Structure 1
Amino acid sequence: MENNATSPLIVDIPATQLIPNAANPRKTVGDVTELAASIKAQGLQQQLLVTPAGQDTDGKPLYRIVIGHRRYQACIKAGMTMIPCTVRHLTDREEREIMLIENTQRADLTPIEEADGYQGLLDLGASIDELADKTGRSTSFVRRRIKIAGIPQATRAKAKDFSQLTLSQLDALAEFSDDPKTQARLAEKAESNDWRWELENARDHKRMNQWRRAADEYITANHLHAIKVKNLWTGMEGYGATHAPNTSKPFAESWEEYLRHGGDPASIILTTADSGYGWAEPAAPKDTEENTKETERLKAIAAKERERKAKVREYTATSNRLRREWIRTHSTEWTGQQMRDAIQTLARLETIGTGTYLPTGLDANQRDQMITAYNQISGKPLPDEKKNPKEGLYHLDTPANLNELRRRADKPGQELRQLTLVMLARQEARITPETWDGTGYGTNLKTTAIYYQALAWLGHQPSTNEQQALAGNLTATKDNDQQ
């Protein structure tokens, strides 16, 4: 990489003739106070690497810093006017390579700084294989960083401090390179409590767009009768209630399953402006005339309630998933005091509660839900993960699972953590859509708020959506209660 025609020179260069390198991957040098004090007391122990950069307006030679930006700032702070430098003639690509390799070896770069460094070299003609070889990284590592480098400046500007985003956040933003609006909205939320919620919704929306495209292709290819409606849940004259497909599997699979179980092929496919999908089958003729106005009023109330319940189910699934994911990823960080505080709050829920009567234990189905929740939040599934009636496994509180739970709790240093996880799982088992809409038995918004207090002791911060749900924005309205 060195220019063979000119050997490196070590000279003292006036500080005023040294200029920072705009292509330096490392954008900030941090606090140089201690380094400046060391240089003032002992002198500069390692010279800077610079390359000729033309002349200033007075004809004096200028030198661009390649390695040593932090030392340069410390020398200035220490009052040095002449700074020892090694002078080398370098191409733009050589400069960038040296700076990137130097900074990656020192682990000085943030993920986005490193990503931009790779991209700069790609722009100068380097290949991914070359970059991997020179920096000692894998090609997959380099590709991952380059994908991050593609996040546009307009999106970066939306974050309060983009340079401090974690690698996982940057990877998540890069997922939405084909959707600038969503990417920008996520960047705004990256440093807030709503980040995980917004990301989950964005991923669901992206997945649903793919699901809808496949559904449209299937509907067209099979010549199914489809119409647009304003509201998926509003009944249509001559048709029964809407059947909503399970979006965890393709529309085609749900429709064909419906037909296999006796569904009417004459059912009409319904879609909405906001891309809701369903179908309604022809209703049997009615013998008596109905009060049309009253019927329509009741239909509207029923449709509104079905829509509300669908939103509650969607919220419950998302909040359950995000809470459990948070517990699983943070449980190893909890301190003993945090866990003791949480257990005290959870014990209150289990023993005293908030209602007229003392709390009861979990029924058989809730115990199954508890084991499922424990498997999700612990990250280490118990032996019997699923019910299997064919093998005589009707519930999950099996001797094998109980013995394994006790074995884990008996491990030195693990009893407190395992007890915390089990008590959290017990509460997770109780939270259902009915909890959030105010119709649940045993577990309601009051008890759930106390559960969230236990999570707060462990460091969890609820998103705006969770705060609103705890405040009752998903509960049934008076009109719905009168049905």
Structure 2
Amino acid sequence: METNTTSPLIMDIPATQLIPNAANPRKTVGDVSELAASIKAQGLQQQLLVTPAGQDTDGKPLYRIVIGHRRYQACIKAGMTMIPCTVRHLTDREEREIMLVENTQRADLTPIEEADGYQGLLDLGASIDELADKTGRSTSFVRRRIKIAGIPQATREKAKDFSQLTLSQLDALAEFADDPKTQARLAEKAESNDWRWELENARDHKRMNQWRQAADEYITANHLHAIKVKNLWTDMDGYGATHAPTTSKPFAESWEEYLNNGGNPASVILTTENSGYGWAEPATPKDPANTAEVERLKAITAKERERKAKLREYAATSYKLRAEWIRKTSADWTGQQMRDAIQTLARLETIGTGTYLPNGLDANQRDQMITAYNQISGKPLPDEKKNPKEGTYHLDTTANLNELRRRADKPGQELRQLTLVMLARQEARITPETWDGTGYGSTLKTTAIYYQALAWLGYQPNSSEQNAINGSLTTRKDQQ
């Protein structure tokens, strides 16, 4: 039967001659029991939109569903053999556009379904501007979806249920489009407690690769003498202790600061197999009689430096994850959750776990508490940094204390602010040494109780954190 795009035809079509659309962005229709019961009682209230799709083996016309996949499944469940449809001749691109526009108006369309819908239209020649215009989205929104549509099938299969990943998780996976192995590993962890830990490490690794690439380019461009060594912390014959630049700023900036501050331009650049960077200055001649003992002590020192570097890295990463989680979830904590957490935190503050009752925070720890509060609350206090020139030697200033009290006085906010402050007090006590059992302000016993308080609020430690709480990083078991 002839139809055209300007005069759609409404007709009853046998259910056996209707076929689902493989390009439909919405991959699952969900439970249609209630809709089927409604259709059985009242009939189908809105026709399906279909387009001719050739013939079956018996020569009967087939029609491909464009809009109404859920209604179609409900009709089948309701026992309907003839289904009312609106028939229109459509191009592949028109089909996809109609399905995408219709489905983007549904709240249950997942981000990846929408993303794949955009990508399908791009493949047919649509532009990002056209897609944004037709769906009522911004171009930045569409571009964001296109990025996650690029996640390959091999990566998607690594997740237990890829269709249920959140938009933030999909965005994170899309960050690693140029690193399939990392992307696949992250997909495997997306539905586990290790997700945030793995993501943070992957981002750090990516950032470090970019840092190292820039360092290599600078070293080559400036003809600096560089050699590879097995261990950055092991001194070489003829050279003194290693200087290791911070990775928070470019290698070039650290090297130039070193030279400007009187550093020796004859220093040799050191790189390691695990991509560590540093430099060593020429040393004064050694006393041959003491060489063996000096080398033995240096080897011990080198191993200890490496251990402490890993300890600092763990402490920084674990703190960052806790702070980020607290900042993002604190607005959703219930009163009961906060009361349970405060009870646990109050125990740490008043009874503790050691031989003596807990001490209060010293001046530096109070500064760290204010800094931690600023990070976990997301709303910095007036005095964020020390400024001796202006008389700000510590951060527990009158302005900060007044602001804390003002926030606690706001209706409905006292419990939440008290929880944040008590969390910040514990964060101020945790240092890298906490994790190896030599900490002063906080031990593994007190940290384990702190994690119990976090658990009342909904925090779930990843496997690395749980292992550290259990003592995996300790060197003195009696300090646990």
TM-score, normalised to structure 2, is 0.97
Q: What's the offset of the Cα at 1:283?
A: 1.8
After TM superposition, the structure 1 stretch with the greater mean CA deviation from structure 2, 391-400 or 464-473, is 464-473
| Per-residue Cα deviation, 1:102-148 (whole angstroms, up to 9, x for no partner) | 00112331000000000000001111111111000111111111011
Secondary structure of the residue that 1:113 maps to in structure 2? helix
Q: What's the offset of the Cα at 1:2?
A: 13
Identity rate of aligned residues, in percent? 91
Do the aligned partners of residues 476 and 264 (structure 1) sit closer, same or farther apart at CA in structure 2, a change above 3 Å counting? farther
Secondary structure of the residue that 1:62 maps to in structure 2? strand
Q: Is the 8 A contact 1:371 1:396 kept in 2?
A: yes
Do the aligned partners of residues 403 and 6 (structure 1) sit closer, same or farther apart at CA in structure 2, a change above 3 Å counting? closer
Cα distance in 1 for residues equivalent to 2:286 and 2:7: 99
Q: Is the 8 A contact 1:50 1:66 kept in 2?
A: yes
Show the counterpart of 2:152: 152
Q: Is the 8 A contact 1:234 1:300 kept in 2?
A: yes
Show the counterpart of 1:107: 107
Q: What's the offset of the Cα at 1:297?
A: 3.1
| Per-residue Cα deviation, 1:29-50 (whole angstroms, up to 9, x for no partner) | 0000111111111111111111
Q: Is the 8 A contact 2:436 2:476 kept in 1?
A: no
Do the aligned partners of residues 282 and 24 (structure 1) sit closer, same or farther apart at CA in structure 2, a change above 3 Å counting? same
Secondary structure of the residue that 1:26 maps to in structure 2? coil
Secondary structure of the residue that 1:49 maps to in structure 2? strand
| Number of aligned positions between the proteins | 478
Q: Is the 8 A contact 1:385 1:396 kept in 2?
A: yes
After TM superposition, the structure 1 stretch with the greater mean CA deviation from structure 2, 468-477 or 23-32, is 468-477
Q: What's the offset of the Cα at 1:3?
A: 7.6
Cα distance in 1 for residues equivalent to 2:74 and 2:280: 74
Q: What's the offset of the Cα at 1:212?
A: 0.6
Show the counterpart of 2:421: 422
Q: Is the 8 A contact 1:3 1:90 kept in 2?
A: no
Cα distance in 2 for residues equivalent to 1:451 and 1:103: 46
Considering only aligned residues, what root-mean-square deviation do their CA atoms show, in Å?
2.1
Q: What's the offset of the Cα at 1:470?
A: 1.1
Q: Is the 8 A contact 1:346 1:424 kept in 2?
A: yes
| Per-residue Cα deviation, 1:246-302 (whole angstroms, up to 9, x for no partner) | 100010111111122222222111101111101111222234xxx554443332221
Q: What's the offset of the Cα at 1:472?
A: 1.6
| Per-residue Cα deviation, 1:169-219 (whole angstroms, up to 9, x for no partner) | 111111111111111111111111111111111111111111111111111
Q: What's the offset of the Cα at 1:230?
A: 0.8
Q: Is the 8 A contact 2:10 2:85 kept in 1?
A: yes
Q: Is the 8 A contact 1:2 1:88 kept in 2?
A: no
Q: Is the 8 A contact 2:407 2:414 kept in 1?
A: yes
After TM superposition, the structure 1 stretch with the greater mean CA deviation from structure 2, 53-62 or 237-246, is 237-246
Q: Is the 8 A contact 2:3 2:87 kept in 1?
A: no
| Per-residue Cα deviation, 1:396-446 (whole angstroms, up to 9, x for no partner) | 000110000001001110000000000000001111111112111131111
Q: What's the offset of the Cα at 1:241?
A: 1.8
Secondary structure of the residue that 1:39 maps to in structure 2? helix
Do the aligned partners of residues 476 and 267 (structure 1) sit closer, same or farther apart at CA in structure 2, a change above 3 Å counting? farther
Q: Is the 8 A contact 1:233 1:306 kept in 2?
A: yes
Show the counterpart of 2:370: 371
Q: Is the 8 A contact 2:430 2:441 kept in 1?
A: no
Q: Is the 8 A contact 1:6 1:89 kept in 2?
A: no
Gaps of 5+ in 2: none
Q: What's the offset of the Cα at 1:235?
A: 1.8
Q: Is the 8 A contact 2:438 2:476 kept in 1?
A: no
Q: Is the 8 A contact 2:148 2:170 kept in 1?
A: yes
After TM superposition, the structure 1 stretch with the greater mean CA deviation from structure 2, 437-446 or 349-358, is 437-446
Do the aligned partners of residues 478 and 45 (structure 1) sit closer, same or farther apart at CA in structure 2, a change above 3 Å counting? closer
Show the counterpart of 2:45: 45
| Per-residue Cα deviation, 1:438-458 (whole angstroms, up to 9, x for no partner) | 111131111101001100000
Secondary structure of the residue that 2:57 maps to in structure 1? coil
Show the counterpart of 2:448: 449
Q: Is the 8 A contact 1:10 1:86 kept in 2?
A: yes
Q: What's the offset of the Cα at 1:5?
A: 6.1
Gaps of 5+ in 1: none
| Per-residue Cα deviation, 1:231-255 (whole angstroms, up to 9, x for no partner) | 1111212222211101000101111
Do the aligned partners of residues 186 and 367 (structure 1) sit closer, same or farther apart at CA in structure 2, a change above 3 Å counting? same
Q: What's the offset of the Cα at 1:229?
A: 0.5
Q: Is the 8 A contact 2:271 2:278 kept in 1?
A: yes
